[in-house]
Amino acid sequence: MQNITAEELKARLDAGEKVNLVDVREPNEHAEFNIGGQLVPLGNIRNFQVDELENLKDAEVIVYCRSGNRSGQAAMLLETMGFSNVNNLAGGMMRWQELYS
């Protein structure tokens, strides 16, 4: 698992790069604030319920949560499932909002 900073991700998004964002928080957290990621809660990943992500196994996937903890767990699990390029958003949405809200 690699980490990506909020600054690096923001620069890539601002440049119009298409990135595969996966939000591993709970639905209520996602509804409150998100940066456009596909919602796949950590519980689903723990239960290997990741069918909607199967087509991304060989693509870069950037996972995020509130602080970077759950997304770190999700990144490691996805790697064990065969995902080859998983990045964790360091500091999660707390860091993102600190910089960009």
Please list the active-site residues: 65
Provide the token pair at 88.
């964790």
CA atoms of 84 and 29, how far apart (whole Å): 27
Provide the token pair at 57.
């196994």
CA atoms of 47 and 28, how far apart (whole Å): 20
